[in-house]
Structure 1
Amino acid sequence: MKFLHLSDLHLGKRVHAFSMLEDQRVILEQIAQMARAQCVDAVVIAGDIYDKSIPPGEAVGLFDSFFTSLCAAGISVLAISGNHDSGERLNFGQTLLARQGVYLAGTFGETMESVELCDADGCRVQFHLLPWLRPMELRERLWLAESTQQYAVQAALETADWDDSARHVLLAHAFVTAGGALPEQSESEIIPVGGLDAVDAALFDRFDYVALGHLHRAQRLGRDSVRYAGSPLKYSFSEAKYPKSVPLVTLGARGEATVELLPLRPRHEMREIRGKLADVTSELVVHAGDPEDYLRVILTDEDELYDPQSALKEVYPNLMRLDFDNARTRAADIDGLCEEDIAQKRTPAQLFAQFFAEQNGKEMSEWQQQVIDRICRRMEDADEAN
């Protein structure tokens, strides 16, 4: 059996006030063409279909046209809700849609939903659909010892309708770690703090493939068959250097899954350029790439500039973000720290560690320290839209 693994579409998203809807339309058409060309049996979507719990009508229409085109080609669609979705709204029409090969799991009921599909050889695959869980809402129903994602996911998995003779694929929207190591994140995600949202990948050991959603950077966790597909488009400049792709998964015998990453070509690339205004607007630099790309420009001029944004937009119509890096901005950053901190050369992470210890009477755990280190490294992009 072959299927494409998608996640984090965030239909209807705006990045720095730019609507991504047309970019999303182009990339979904590209993915639908891939699905037909590869003759896949299914397309799975591991959550965050929409960017808002109440998405705009255009986003809903785009998702409708996407799964309609797949169904017309005889390709099944299996999708779960993410933390950005409204699970109740996603459930609308699920019984009717299931008759057409579209299986939606917006909320968790008494048991985890499972869908059985057969490949061309008649071999069965069970797809288990685990939407975004809210442990506080499930604590009494699932008899959770603690209101954490780890306990909630573990309890939900135990409700699965499991057939030992079939192969098994899990769709899950969660923050998953492997052996305690943090996965790679980007600023377009909501960063979990404190470990309450973390789920250990060891919970998924019995599945042949685990299709994860929630993180926007594509990556494997532990084994090649436990992975985040990543978002199909770049929604943050922290992702500018990382190409986007779609995992094409081929299931063999039990325990055998091969993954091929199919590259995606966005309508507009996202990138950064840096230098003086005269340099970055020169013909040589402008035509070194596509001037219609989504850009973050970092100007290094030391002299005051008159309306640099207008000058940049004359050559870069899709300028998303303008920043400055010069003696004045660096001095302003230093002024934000008190003299005692500068003298002791303490980093923001060290200052937070001191604050945590004073407030809680104990040092931060290794997990918490890793989270704070990661957040501090990303402070430059702290205003990135979630």
Structure 2
Amino acid sequence: MNYKGLALIALMIATLCFMDRPGAATAADYKLQPSLTLSQEYNDNIFLSRTDRRDDYITGITPGLRFTLNDPVLFADVAGAYTQRIYAKNTKQSDNPFSLNAITRLQVLKDTLYLEVSDVYKRVSLDTSRDYAQESSFVNQTDSNTFTVHPYFILRPSSLLTLTTGYKFIDIWYKDAASIPKRDHVGYLQAQYEVMSNLLFNGNYTVTREEASTYNFWRHEATAGPKYVYAQDSYISFAFGNTWVDYDNGSSQSNLFLSGGLVHAFDTLLVMLTAQQKFEDNPSSTPRRINAYALNLQKIFPRTVLTGGIYLNKNYRTDVDRLDTQTYGARAGLKYELTPLMTAGCDVMLERIERRLGLESKTKRFLISLPLTYALTQKISMTANYSFTNLSTPETTTDNYHNNRFVVSAVAAF
């Protein structure tokens, strides 16, 4: 079932009731901000094809609206946009995406009971091994809607112990007919104990019931570990955990994992090392578990910001408990302030995607982006961006192509 807009309706009703109270909110508490984006793009390979290369000029018109309300009792942030794309050579029809990111949080009992409702409508990649949105506005993608109702308690039995417990109802829908919608019921308990002012001990337990047309399962996850803040903006944390997955068809898995992070802030250098296990929603009929490892650096100069990092992602199919794809690579970025109103940048990514299940293949992917941004006024900015993508896969004919895109856009926030 598509729940698009339910969060927005619930938000508006709650907001109207709240704002009707005498003295409930002043003009400074809420803001309604329309925006308009105009863009012109040249793309020399619309369908990301090796042989059938078609180019086109694309005009984009994107009106948007954002509503924010910030109050101790009721918080809301709703942003929606609709894009009308016009292809000069008619290479693509009906490419008019809609996006919505809405969240509202109501404090039912002061500092104790909260109700959070959110709705996210966006385009997502159909490929679980990589994000096609980095390369195209529509190829191998589908619309997705995620509707969440989340009541939760924050309890403080003592000044050193904080307990958070709640329930999440999550409904996920995909427009693509071959994709698998699903529904999650999630219960959780989180505990945080302050051993010392700079040492915390965290424990988490989560149980998930996921229901889909092709599978149903129970998933239990337990983690525990400390977080130690050893300097300003610097800390180390780790947690040992285990995940148990039991499918209704009888199959089950148990996986032990270690997650954690190290963040160290020098005067102008930030070092971040992370390891985590996560479960990501995707349109396929096979739930995924991802073990992700990354090292990221950020160096700040007076007018320049340099970023860089390496990463490794292991993507497992939980129905068979086998490694499906392994992705590793490196990325680097540069942002330079030419003038107080103009910035130039360069972002580069080089990665390798190794597919282990089914037809084995190894894809090399290279992306580069060169943005230039100029602020005409405080509310109007212009951006010119050139991007190049190149993929090479010796084992197959599909993932072998290159693509050039040049986009000029103007954004006005009223």
Higher RCO, 1 or 2 (CA under 8 Å, sep at least 6)?
A: 1
Please state which band the TM-score falls in when normalised by the shorter chain: under 0.3
TM-score by length of 2: 0.24
Higher helix share: 1
